[in-house]
Amino acid sequence: MRIALAQLNLLVGDVPGNAARILEAIGEAQAGHAGLIAFPELALCGYPPEDLLFHAGLREDLAAGLERVREASGGIAVALGYPHWEEGRWYNAAALFHGRRLLLLHRKNVLPNYRVFDERRYFAPGAEARCAQLGDIRLGLAVCEDVWEAEVAERCAADGAQLIVAINGSPYELAKQAQREQVLAARALETGLPLAYVNLVGGQDELVFDGGSCVVDASGQVCLRAGAHEEGLYFCDLETSGGGPARPLAGSVAPLMSEEAEVYAALVTGVRDYVRKSGFSRVVLGLSGGIDSALTLALAVDALGADRVLAVMMPYRYTSPMSLEDARQQANTLGAQYEVLPIAGMVEAMREALSGLFAGLPEDVTEENIQSRCRGMLLMAISNKQGRLVLATGNKSEYAVGYATLYGDMAGGFAPLKDCTKTRVYRLARYRNALSPAIPERVIERSPTAELRPGQLDSDSLPPYEVLDEVLDALMMEDLSVGRIAQRGFDPGIARQVLDRVRLSEYKRRQAPPGVRVTQRAFGRDWRYPIVSGYRSSRNSP
């Protein structure tokens, strides 16, 4: 028997469009002589549908789309993920169709409700896991989280399964593929059964799905692995004679990627799909001559093509000749459109308008923020007039501690680096340059600066990024207190300062654009701190 894993990039809510892509894949699988094609979790509506599930119109679209898929199963078995409506409740379901009949309906048993997952808000859990006979093989079905615990696989094995097909909507995060395959190997060793795993690819809001569809044999060895971020059908042949577990034959096994390679690929995918799926075709960004905007420009060009990217340098009196030179050099190297729009007139006009209210008050960060907000206004005006999505260029370190200007450099429709700390930004820049020249070396080597006042450096306001980023990881990934962080050798005063700034900056982050999630905990779906809070890290000092 030959199975096809349909690793597809689908659009949430576009049931007719998704159904058309599913039917196209069914035709491709039949042409490839597959007897079964498996689609990802909730493929028919896209993942995650979130509150679209509350709309009655979606149910009507799903019923029509499901009927189209059932009709297409005349000559091939189809395992399809979709939301199943039954007795006033939604189930996250996998259906097995063959001969235009429903052979098996599996309702997801294990509903994740952590990090970015919120499935108990929408779905009721299933309580059974059974199998169906498909020719000379007996199949069990599982949906994503079902295989992260042992019970569903064990139930399938008890019902005589020879193969478990797991359909998934598993978002990317660092080192996720190795973790998935460890889980699949554990289920295989526990049950003595092979598992076929199919996953989505593509970006959806801040989530990126990296694919990694694979097949593991009964010993847990990977027999097939699809390429990360690559849409397509991946075929695996199975030996099914003898009545025992199916035996997958060796197929193509794509190599696992390095950390920088997988993060960079996820960022490119996230930018490309957010722009495309939002209805835009072009982007604009402010190119300052600094490392963050330089990396954002490289990502944008790699995701969309240089002809769709406009980089705008907006100099003021504090902008160094180095920044002007490096910004122009990079735009020319990458082939992006480049414009210079000086902001001196705007800044002085705004300062003049405020002079009465500011009389007698010393200059401070207010005047610095006026520069940043003038730049944000220009980028948004270009967006409105030319129909370009604005890419914000801030990184996770800056968003964490509020080292960013609300309605200034935080303005935009999407923030590609939102989940990348400053230290990761530097690693990604060097990785990108190793592929081909993209970022001037001087941009990478220079000390980071916002250039909002004479001689300004980021280190004037922040701890060294190497320290700041480690403290942030301890806070965000491990939820450690100041005392616990200090026990790792960090100055407790610095740890307290960082944690307090994270708390105080929540109101800014709530107004920030979405950005690609690449770590186990990002600002956005899996960060839910209150804006107004009486919590103080000083109470937890060592």
Active site residues: 41, 108, 144
Report CA 394 to chain centroid distance, whole Å: 17
3-state SS, residue 48: coil
Residue 322 to residues 241, 304, 409, 508, Cα–Cα distance (Å): 70, 27, 20, 31
Distance CA 213, CA 224 (A): 8
First to last CA, the chain: 63
For 490, other C-beta atoms within 10 Å of its C-beta total 18
Distance CA 250, CA 267 (A): 31
Contact (Cβ atoms closer than 8 angstroms) between residue 295 and residue 439: yes
Contact (Cβ atoms closer than 8 angstroms) between residue 336 and residue 282: no
Residue 133 to residues 36, 81, 130, 539, Cα–Cα distance (Å): 12, 19, 10, 62
| Pairing verdict, β 222-225 and 214-216 | antiparallel
Q: With CA atoms as reference, report the closest residue to 83 among 44, 38, 126.
A: 44
What count of residues does the chain have? 542
